[in-house]
Each structure stands twice: as structure tokens, then as C-alpha cells.
Amino acid sequence: MTLKIYGTPMSRAIRVYWLAEELGLPYESVAIDFKDESPGPVGKGNPEFRAASPMGRVPAIDDGGAKLFESLAINLYLGRKHGKGLWPSTVAGEGAVYQWTLFAANELDGTMVEWARNAIVLPEAERDPAKVTAALEKLAKPFTALDEALGKTPWLLGQEFTLADLNVSATMFRARKMDLTKKPNLARWLAACFARPAAKKAWALRGE
């Protein structure tokens, strides 16, 4: 049964499309517009979608009856299931993937959204520069931790690109619009993540 991915490229579903491209996984994209409250086919009330996503948030998946929500958990599941080099071969490596994925969720995700909304996404009149400053202050420690880690090895777990790199870089994709000259290792790594053919294919779905 083909993997179903609910969401749109303009949502956090982009993280799952990127992984599907990396793994060469065929998938059916079920468009759910996260701004549409209706029970119609593309609305958040669509009952088939709600069976996979009880809060009506995208992305969600149905993988032959295995239903999951939470973008990064979906990626851990698909990475563990299909591997293909993106999933580490040791338990210590798996621990590092969990660590960086929870780091992405807890230290980056919400603050990156806050920065992006107020720095680049909202119409200029609605942006709040104080929120930009506060977000950058909150991101300083995690960005330093990343820059230091990536000063030691090319990728987060060592010499190879893994799911840790995908989950973290996908969560901070908008940092490509920040001035990262003081974080050269982070800047080099972010550019390398997004130079991957699978990332380009996924981001092309957003017209980027």
C-alpha cells in the first residue's frame, strides 16, 4: 500500500517529502490546507485525515494502516523503517539521531517560526522587530552548539549525512536567509544539506 502523506509543501510536510525523496519512497500526497477549517476533502475536518491527525495539524501519514502525526516523529519512523544509510547502524548513533531531532523540536522549531514570521513572512506592517531580537537571542545557544559540533565533523553524526542532519536542517531552513558569517560551520553545513538533490526536489514543490 502506498504511503499517504497529508499536508502541503508550504507546511511542515516538506520535511517528510524531503525524506521520501532521499529514500526513493513512492508516496501519495493528500492535500490538506492547514488554513481550511472545513470537513471537505482538503479541509482540516476531513475525517480520513483526522483519523491520522487528531489535532488536525499537518503533516500526518497513513503507512498501510500505521497512522502518525508530528513531522519529526514521522521522519524517525520512516528513517528507522527504510534506513538506506540515513539511519545509523549503532544504538549510540540512534541515540544521537533522537538527541538532534528533539533538539530541532525543542530548541529550534517554534523560535525559527517566530523569527521567520517577523523577519520575512508577514507583511512588513505586521512584523515586530522586538520579536526578531528575542528570537535571535533564544537561537544563539543552539546555533553555537551546532556550529561547534559541525566544526569537528562535516555532518552531525560524523562523516555521513544522516536523518539527524535532515531533521535539524529542515527545521531551520529559513536560517538560510540569516547572516551566518559568525557561524561558518553551520552556514557550510546548511548549504550542503540544501544542495542535496532530494532537498532540491522537495523545495521545488514550494517553488523555491
Beta carbon nearer to ligand GSH, 18 or 150? 18
- How far from chain centre, in Å, is Cα 23? 15
Q: Which three cell numbers stand for residue 188?
A: 557550510
**Site membership for ligand GSH, residue 71 (CB under 6 A):** yes
CB 9 within 8 A of CB 16: no
How far is Cα 12 from Cα 35, in angstroms, rounded to an integer? 13
Stretch of residues binding ligand GSH (CB under 6 A), selected from 17-25, 67-75, 117-125, 157-165? 67-75
Q: Are 59 and 2 in contact (CB under 8 A)?
A: no
For ligand GSH, the closer of residues 116 and 193 by Cβ is 116
Sign of CA dihedral 28, 68, 39, 11: negative
Within residues 76-95, the interface with ligand GSH by CB under 6 A covers none
| The binder of ligand GSH chosen from 6, 34, 115, 161 (CB under 6 A) | 34
Beta bridge partners of 69: 60
* Number of residues counted as binding ligand GSH (CB under 6 A): 10
- Which range touches ligand GSH (CB under 6 A), out of 65-73, 139-147, 155-163, 200-208? 65-73
